[in-house]
Structure 1
Amino acid sequence: MKVGIFEAEPDENKPKFFITAAFPYPNSPLHLGHSRTYTITDVYARYMRMRGYNVLFPMGFHYTGTPILAMAESIAKGDHELIDLMINVYDVPPEDIEKLKDPLSLARYFHNDAKNAMIESGYSIDWRREFTTIDEEFKRFIIWQFTKLKEKGLVKKGTHPVGWCPNHNMPVGMHDTKGDVEPEIGEFTLILFELERDLYLPAATLRPETVFGVTNIWVNPNAEYVIVNIDGRRYIVSKRAAFKLRFQRDSIVEERTIKGEELLGKRARNPATGKLVPVLPAEFVDPETASGVVMSVPAHAPYDYVALEELKREKPDLLRKLGIDPEELAPIPLIRVKGYGEIPAKDIVERMGIKSQKEKDLLDEATKKLYSDEYHNGIVREDIIEHVYKDMPEPYRSFAVAPVKAWIVGKSVSEAREATTKWLSALGYEDRMYEILNRPVYCRCGTEIVVKVLRDQWFIDYGNPEWKKLVYELLDNMRIVPDEIREEFLKTVDWLHERAAARTRGLGTELPWAKGWIIESLSDSTIYMAFYTVVHKIRKYGLKPEQLTVEFWDYVLLGKGKAKDVAEKTGIKEEIIKELRRDFDYWYPLDSRHSGRDLVPNHLTFFLFNHAAIFPREKWPRQIVVNGFVLLEGKKMSKSLRNIIPLRRALRVYGVDTVRATLLAAAEILQDANFSEELAKSVMDRLRRFENYAKLAVEAESGETIADRWLLSVLQQRVDAVTKALDRLRTRAATITVLYEMSGDVAKYLELRNGKPGPALREYVENWAKMLAPIAPHIAEEVWHEVLGKDSFISVETWPTIDPKKRDAQVELLVSYVDRLVDDVKSILRVYKGEAKSLVVAVAKPDSWQIARIVASYVSRGGQLRDAIRAVINSGVPGKEAAQIVRKLYEFLRSVDEAMLALIESVQEFDEKEAVAKLKDYISRKTGIQKVEVYYVDEAGDKIPQQKLRQVIPLRPAILIA
């Protein structure tokens, strides 16, 4: 029977809450990593629904781009590794492989599988609003979006570097690559060292300001290099560099190939100093990166320093053969930075114990650290003129010294970098080359991505400064959960620049003004949340795609124009258009957007940009929630490890609620969650305990005891803690409280009542079931109906609230006090020899309780001992006696938790003798001692030795076991 309790419609009598999670690509099954994002989203949606909000949680499927296409092509080509992965890791039946050879068939197959996984997971989704990004109605929505961006000048033609697949001849982004890696594009400065007339070694660097300290040029002796003519200028670059440069330059002609070893010993002129520096071999030079030619600055580059020292130490014969005096390779200090000596690279290398250029990880770490320190805190030395130019021949000296003195000496590294680049460019000795900084990145077809400079192509201008201002404003006015991720958003906004808007290949929407170009996947997935608000009504009223014009969307989503005019132009009834506008206006803005951390540098930031550009401020999103990844038994899930667990398999093995609760209990939201067998079994056990306790609750006896008052009092704490945790999206804290702490409460309650449930248990379990419902909805719903006999759905029940009348600090303190006493007795019993037949307890008199309250107040706020003593004296206790008592109390209370301190402060009067007397039977059961006696300290007489009685203070009784 379909009830539709999660099908949301506007209700002006309720506050609304619109929540979405990133829709999935249906090119493989959902796995535990996906499930974490969707489970957190669902928990929050269910929680807000129970808090009285009208909650909309919809879901769609992202077909756009090349991932689906690439996977289907690989299967069609008989990719054995992929087919094996599908069958043995992704649980695709062998007979279904044939279906996956067609892109649309593959998409629909995994779309259906993902939807079933979400339904089986109990996600409270309004499935009426489901769509795919290749639905014609959605394409019309995207055409409207890009029309708006173009009208605002934010989509424009230009020339920009992009990640590029040489095989498919198209731009690629994160979702077009293996492993969903965003290609990071960096710009290398090529400094031209003249090897002979009109032939240059273009040394690639990210630090052009260090050119003044170059001692030599590095090449890889085992690599292939080529002489190329690039736009009329002749360079020697690696074979791979020549290939990459074809995508960045108009004219490249290869003249001939040479081996790296052929260049050794040759000398090239440093354009900044006029000095001839030798070409030397280095294994660390990667011919695959940039030009394959590296300038050596041993004073400031750990790799260079280590490689030169290694060369001097291990290959002195080679240096002699090449006619190179080791003295000319001495480091030239250029930058002064706090924390380092004259030669910073030497300092950090020796500090880290690096001996060989093969210690790549350590060298990378050293390089990153030194470069950062120099960039942020370094100053170009005043004496570089003396170091660098003292033997410089004319005419170099004349044209170099003055500008270097004026623009570079004494400047910060960032200032010197810009000035050096401009100076070398003006002299004609500077060029540029783009590179993938996080290479290698591979297209889904298996081809390594390169950088292409696209000309006359359409880009989204994320570098627009005015647009960025709006995004900063949006970020300032929205909640980011957790807030520590805010800095990542700010950094992303800062470095974002133009981004290719379309591809020539893949599924999706055509650019309306450029036929044959498909809007790429991270560009059509930025404001689709608005589409959710009306898609089901578009279908309900049978609106045709061609009726969904730009004017239609202008009215529905922006309120522009008149409904009557839109109705006349589109043929849609005016009342329908107005209804769609009302629906959008009710649901927007989006209240909470959920996604994984990997989408912060792309999708989530693009989401902010596009909302800021298209919608008015009152429709800007209110919150983004970012979660970490999922580990499996402590290891990252990956295809290579073949440890990816499809979600539906996990649901079959562990059960739905166990999977949900394990993912939630494993870590707080931004931490990586470790899904382990041990934790899953523990969660499963706690869920069974909840069910068993619920069955006990319906058999409860009448007659309230201290235990019942205690349980209902503790319940108020749990309601408060779980409510606050879910408000802050601290889903682990909420789950631990509901599964473990509340289970512990009931276990304690039953101990207090000698295993016989009383009247408080049912009330506790009913509220417990409600708090468990967002986390483990299936068992909560089952207990609600089948055990507790309720007729309603727990999913739409009202969330529990605190009843201050049921909070009883006195009884909570009583139980806590007795539990501490029991623990102390057990500690004594562990070393006690003989049979324990009786327990005698001597306690402080009630009139000393105020001393405990005063001292607790000082301890809880970190007050000083002397101030606590003074306060107790002022209350009327004689000075000598006060000092002795307060010292002991102060030390003792520093060992108790905040909750206990709060109880002590809040309870006005407390009788320790009465507390022990009321729970004598409980103490006997817990300690195994049948006879329990309790006395005030002045009543104990000879029951307890005097030296023990003299140690008694409030909350610290004397104990005698006999």
Structure 2
Amino acid sequence: MATESGKSFARRDRLLEIEKKVRGWWDEKDVFRAEPCEGTPKPGEKFFGNFPFPYMNGFLHLGHAFSLSKLEFAAAFHRLNGANVLLPFGFHCTGMPIKASADKLAREIQKFGNPPVFPKEADSVELQPEPEDANSGMPPEKFKGKKSKAVSKSGGQMFQWEIMRSVGLSDVEIAEFQKPEKWLTYFPPLAMEDLKDFGLGCDWRRSFITTDMNPYFDSFVQWQMRKLKDMGKIVKDKRYTVYSPLDDQPCADHDRASGEGVQPQDYTLIKMEVMPPFPPKFKALEGRKVFLAAATLRPETMYGQTNAWVLPEGKYGAFEVNDTDVFILTERAALNLAYQGFSKTPKQPSCLAELTGYDLIGLPLKSPLSFNKVIYALPMLTILTDKGTGIVTSVPSDAPDDYMALQVLKAKPAFREKFGVKDEWVVPFEIVPIINIPEFGDKAAEKVCLDLKIKSQNEKEKLAEAKRLTYLKGFTDGTMLVGECAGMKVQEAKSLIRTKLIETGEAVMYSEPEKRVMSRSGDECVVALTDQWYLTYDDLEWKKLAEECLSQMNLYSDETKHGFEHTLGWLNRWACSRSFGLGTRIPWDPEFLVESLSDSTIYMAYYTVAHFLHNEDMYGNNKTHRIRPEEMTDDVWNFIFCDGSYPKSSKIEPSILNKMKQEFTYWYPFDLRVSGKDLIQNHLTFSIFNHTAIMAKHHWPRGFRCNGHIMLNSEKMSKSTGNFRTLRQSIDEFSADATRFSLADAGDGVDDANFVFETANSAILRLTKEIAWIEEVLAAEASLRTGPPSTYSDRVFENEINIAVLTTKKNYEKCMFREALKTGCYDLQAARDEYRLSCGSGGMNRDLVWRFIDVQTRLITPICPHYAEHVWRELLRKDGLVVNAGWPTADSPDETLKAANKYLQDSIVLMRKLLQKQIMGSKKSNKKGAPAATLTEEKITGLIYVNEQFDGWKAECLNILKSKFDRNTGTFAPDG
């Protein structure tokens, strides 16, 4: 088959045909159905692996497939080894993205028609800005008056309707997606079909979707939340939380278009009072207390203030905090404060006057703790208005930036004149020693700047190093010289000074996101002080249990282990409730939904019993009604998962109840969970916490394997650039097995991996050529040499097969699939090719050829199961299915033989090089064209040195070399 471009797809299409046929065999035998055996399984007898269920707001892509492939390869390996394997798969629909996208689509239809006719200029469209992935929307009541950044296909970001069109949906179909339920019924079945075509060895009876659309899973989540609350693990509290003003609810990691993992950063907001008389620009502020509000992480240094810094071109405002106080700061900071209780109207900043930094320069200030009774606002050109409040305190004794900026102002009258800075605002102010730091003294910033020879504010790298040295040393080793905490270590004094400043009203608490966070609804998030439900992940006793669980787990890499340890170190209370989106209602407070990461912590246990509840329907539509949702009471869940007493009042048949409990106790704990490393900081750590709280110790997780993201052809995978493939596209383009082959080859570590299209294309060629070779060899089987392996080449090849069996098994056990592909495919096939050449006219040994085909088929089965199944049944005519045929046996490798053969092959390569050099030299010296000198047998044998450790193989190696040398031509035979 060829296209108009002339490129043939016959090999790819052959693989696709094989895959379709093999899936029929698997379905016929129901080979991936997982049933528990009697009794408690011994180590290695069962394998339960799972994967974080993907979010169903679109199609599965190669990023999903890459992480999933690690689990699939591991499960297939254990199945091949004879283990009873459970690999289930669910579909996540909880949270904001689906609801937001559906709402967004509805607004587009309302505004632009059905189907919509979009304007050419996106800037004229009254729509909310879209995040990069554009799978989002917002509540209709919060939509009015927002300006759009949505652009057409050529501009990167698109309308939701255009996104739906781009994935092949018709206009008639798209209109149906205004209802969130459509997403839940459309994408999960398609994802299931894609995974079946991918060859996933899944027990699909256990699949489910989340949200209250599935009443059984809804019951499971409600039980879990009630249990945690009864244990004191869920409490109501006021906490600083990353928050979406547009959605009017906390914005957890899964709700973010960008900024995943970003936490609130707490500051002390210093109230620097503006002293009267006020300038004309401040006329609207007369009768109020007006403060420049500066955010600092170092309240203990306020004794040494010499001035405040403002950005001359910066935009500021005077915002009402209450009836008397006004804060001057950036609008962004004012919005954060408004969500923390510092605005006249909650969540709504009230600006009394718009100002610039020029309006603030020269304002006299009375600042808390400062030894200078009056300081002045001065210009600094390096202030960032997207961090803090845009107002900065200046402590040149301990802050290198402040020291250099003050020196510039003092040394350059022209610079002062440019910004209207009077001499008396700057010149009289000297460094005030406040902290003594060993090695740096009591003027640390000055010393470090001099030591590093910093001469300008523009030397950013040197200043960054100066700050690192002074801030770290100041905190760990510094001693206070002044104030009530004089003589105390800085790390002890910091919190005391901060508390006193807040208690006296000279400062307030302030928090903002560490970095910019964009919600999926398209707005920039703030930090809000919210009264809501929290999981107490900061509880020390609970953390100890999590640490104990972690210490017993197989994490496969030190980087993964360190990631978990770091997360356990900083993880605090986690907001587990929300008000917008899809999901399960908080059972005791139904105004709120369970947050999407908090309903997904122990659901792996749900897989063990899901098929009893759903009757093979992922939505919980149990047609037999053997168990009704309302019959899944807390007592029933406790009996199944928590060794609770038998629920005598339950209407569920005792035999079914006992079978459900048996399933759980057989399969649990799960042996492996595979995930991207970005989930270490939330979902995976939450899973550890909640398992230790709810489950008995012998049911705690056994293993997490984390991987990095995947690139396509060495570039970031991105829809906007077109460097993107869905799983379906990859299967259609390369076949399932070639896709799996390339995923295995992409990389094994925690660093980002690389899916290379050329590798996938090469896999198509390799697999189809191997099939053709096997067919050719089997057709000419009568010409093969019979009898037991006897020659040196036979013994070398047999040894290489044994090596491949044992090393590949070790690689699979360590989940090093790229290495398994190398040892079980590349290296083994290379050994076969060497064997073919070395046999020469004598031919290959039939038994060895059959063993090679058998072994190589089994070794590659976890990665290319369709190819392997075809070879197993159609070519080798074996009984049963290769996916559970058993791992091949092998004798212990003969390392001496391996080394001897390596010596032989290296010698042949060396001799060829020497021969080529001899011939080229002879040609140069014989200008008349006389025959080049030939090498005699004596010359050849004179080059051979065999170490004593090889004495058993010495003579045979020498004879092989002799047999391959042609004395007439002075060359080695092509097959030598």
Same fold (TM over 0.5): yes
Shift in Å, 1:795: 0.7
810 and 182 in structure 1: CA distance in 2 versus 1, 3 angstrom threshold: closer
SS in 1 for 2:91: coil
Q: C-alpha root-mean-square deviation of aligned residues, in Å?
A: 3.1
Equivalent-residue separation in structure 1 for 2:317 and 2:31 (angstroms): 68
Structure 1, residues 791-828: CA drift from partner, whole Å, max 9, x if none? 32111110123323xx3445433322211211211221
SS at match of 2:376: strand
Q: For residue 404 of structure 1, what is the aligned residue in structure 2?
A: 485
Q: 1:220 Cα deviation (Å)?
A: 2.6
Distance 1:659 1:345 in 2: 60
Looking at structure 1, the residues matched to 449 and 805 of structure 2 have their Cα atoms a distance apart, in angstroms, of 54
What are the ranges of 5 or more consecutive residues in structure 1 without an aligned counterpart?
A: 386-399, 854-906, 935-962
| 1:82 CA drift (Å) | 3.9
> Given the alignment, which residue of 415, 427, 431 partners 1:315?
415
Match of 1:790 in 2: 878
Does the CA-based 8 Å contact 1:183-1:437 persist in structure 2? yes
Q: 1:292 aligns with which of 371, 379, 390?
A: 390
User: Which residue number in structure 1 is paired with residue 810 of structure 2?
Assistant: 724
Deviations 1:849-908 (A, max 9, x none): 45xx5xxxxxxxxxxxxxxxxxxxxxxxxxxxxxxxxxxxxxxxxxxxxxxxxxxxxx5x
Q: 2:71 aligns with which of 17, 20, 41?
A: 41
Matched, 1:668 2:748: yes
The alignment status of 1:745 with 2:775, answered yes or no, reads no
Shift, 1:558, TM fit: 1.3
Identity of aligned residues (%): 30
8 A contact 2:448–2:466 mirrored in 1 = no
User: Equivalent residue for 1:201?
Assistant: 292
Equivalent residue runs for 1:689-704 within 5 Å = 689-698=769-778, 699-700=780-781, 701-703=784-786, 704=789
1:555 aligns with 2:639: yes
**Structure 1 pair 779–367 and aligned structure 2 pair: CA distance change class (3 A):** farther
Match of 2:307 in 1: 216
When residues 761 and 132 of structure 1 are mapped into structure 2, their CA distance, relative to the original with a 3 A threshold, is same
Structure 1 residue 529 corresponds to structure 2 residue 571: no
Deviation at 1:216, TM superposition (A): 2.4
- Counterpart in the other structure of 1:7: 33
Supply the distance in 2 between the matched residues of 1:509 and 1:473 (Cα, whole angstroms): 30
Corresponding letter in the other structure for 1:256 = L
Q: Deviation per CA, 1:532-559, whole angstroms, max 9, x where unpaired?
A: 0001012346311010011111111112
Query: Contact (CA 8 Å) 2:98, 2:180: kept in 1 or not?
Result: yes
Residue 527 of structure 2 is matched in structure 1 by: 451
Residue pair 1:845, 1:911 contacting (<8 A) in 2 also:
no
The aligned counterpart of 1:119 is 196
Amino acid at match of 1:404: C
Q: Deviation digits for residues 517-572 of structure 1, max 9, x if unmatched? A: 11110000000001000010123463110100111111111121125x1xxx2311
2:971 maps to 929
- The alpha-carbon distance between structure 1 residues 323 and 353, as it changes in their structure 2 partners (threshold 3 A), is closer
- The TM-score, its normalising length taken from structure 1, stands at 0.82
Q: Matched residues in 2 for 1:794 and 1:196: separation? A: 85
Deviations 1:260-299 (A, max 9, x none): 3211012323422331332122343333433332213445
CA distance in 2, matches of 1:684, 1:451: 52
Q: Which residue of 1 aligns with 2:569?
A: 494
8 Å CA contact retained: 2:335, 2:526 = no
Given that 1:468 and 1:493 are in contact with CA atoms closer than 8 Å, whether structure 2 keeps it comes out as: yes
Number of the residue aligned with 2:695: 615
Q: Which amino acid aligns with 1:207?
A: R
3-state SS of paired residue (1:406) = coil
2:103 to 25, 50, 73: 73
Match of 1:336 among 437, 457, 475: 437
Alpha-carbon distance change, 531 to 344 in structure 1, aligned in 2, over 3 angstroms? same
Q: Which residue of 2 aligns with 1:825?
A: 911
**Partner Cα distance (2:889, 2:302) in 1:** 68
Shift, 1:501, TM fit:
1.3
Q: How far off is 1:779 after superposition?
A: 1.3
The 2-side partners of 1:249 and 1:928 are apart by: 93
* Counterpart position of 2:663: 583
- Match of 1:164, SS? strand
Distance in structure 1 (CA, Å) of the matches to 2:972 and 2:860: 39
Q: Give the match for residue 916 of structure 1.
A: 958
Letter in 2 for 1:414: Q
Paired with 2:773 and 2:91, the residues of 1 have a C-alpha distance of 41
Q: 1:112 corresponds to which letter in structure 2?
A: P
Q: 1:54 and 2:78 equivalent? A: no
The alpha-carbon distance between structure 1 residues 743 and 64, as it changes in their structure 2 partners (threshold 3 A), is: same
Corresponding residue number in structure 1 for 2:819 = 733
Aligned to 1:435: 512
Task: Please report the TM-score for the alignment, with normalisation by the length of structure 2.
Answer: 0.81
TM-aligned CA deviation for residue 347 of structure 1: 4.6
Counterpart in the other structure of 1:139: 218
Distance, in Å, in 2 between the alignment partners of 1:205 and 1:310 is 23
Q: For the residues of structure 2 that align with 1:297 and 1:157, how far apart are their CA atoms? A: 40
Q: 1:930 to 1:99 in 2, by over 3 A?
A: same
Match of 1:730, as an amino acid?
Answer: M
CA contact (8 A) 1:752 1:922 kept: no
1:229 aligns with 2:316: no
From the superposition, tell whether residues 697 and 207 of structure 1 become closer, same or farther in structure 2 (CA, over 3 Å).
Answer: farther
Kept in 2: contact 1:229–1:255 (CA 8 A):
no
- Confirm or deny: 8 A CA contact 2:564 2:681 kept in the other structure: yes
* Ranges in structure 2 where 5+ consecutive residues have no aligned partner: 1-23, 109-149, 153-157, 277-288, 616-623, 923-931
Write out per-residue CA displacement over residues 605-626 of structure 1, whole angstroms, 9 at most, x where no aligned residue.
Answer: 1111110110110110111111
Asked if 1:475 corresponds to 2:550, the answer is yes
Q: How does 1:2-401 map to 2 (within 5 A)?
A: 2=27, 3-12=29-38, 15-78=45-108, 81-83=158-160, 86=163, 90-92=167-169, 96-134=173-211, 135-179=214-258, 181-196=260-275, 198-221=289-312, 222-230=314-322, 233-249=325-341, 251-252=343-344, 254=350, 256-259=352-355, 260-275=357-372, 276-298=374-396, 300-301=398-399, 303-304=401-402, 307-308=405-406, 315-318=415-418, 321-324=421-424, 327=427, 334=435, 336=437, 343-344=444-445, 347=448, 362=461, 366=465, 369-370=468-469, 373-374=472-473, 378-380=476-478, 384-385=481-482, 400=483
2:732 match? 652
**Which whole-Å CA distance do the structure 1 matches of 2:354 and 2:907 have between them?**
86
Corresponding residue number in structure 1 for 2:587:
512
Q: In 2, distance between residues paired with 1:287 and 1:555? A: 56
Supply the distance in 2 between the matched residues of 1:928 and 1:305 (Cα, whole angstroms): 80
**Residue 694 (structure 1) shift:** 3.0
Report the equivalent of 1:841: 940
Does the CA contact (< 8 Å) of 2:105 and 2:161 recur in 1? Answer: no
Question: Within 1, Cα distance between the matches of 2:564 and 2:221?
Answer: 25
Tell me how many residue pairs correspond in the alignment.
Answer: 843
CA distance in 1, matches of 2:955, 2:325: 97
Shift of 1:380: 2.0
8 Å Cα contact 1:33-1:629 kept in structure 2: yes
Please report how far the alpha carbon of residue 323 of structure 1 lies from its aligned counterpart in structure 2 after TM superposition: 3.1
- 1 CA distance for matches of 2:67 and 2:183? 24
Q: Which residue number corresponds to residue 940 of structure 1? A: none
For residues 89 and 414 of structure 1, the distance between their equivalents in structure 2, rounded to whole angstroms, comes to 56
Seen in structure 2, the aligned counterparts of structure 1 residues 797 and 419 have a Cα distance that, compared at 3 Å, is same
Q: Distance in 1 between matches of 2:873 and 2:306?
A: 81
* Residue 301 of structure 1: how far off its partner (Å): 4.2
Closer, same or farther: CA 180–418 of 1 in aligned 2, 3 Å: closer
Counterpart code for 1:531:
Y
Q: Secondary structure at the match of 1:657?
A: helix
AA aligned opposite 2:107: K
User: Displacement of 1:718 after TM fit?
Assistant: 1.3
Other structure's SS at 1:192 match: strand
| RCO comparison, higher one (Cα < 8 Å, 6+) | 2
For the structure 1 residues 348 and 527, does the alpha-carbon distance in structure 2 shift closer, same or farther, using more than 3 Å as the test?
A: farther
* Residue identity in the other structure for 2:900: L
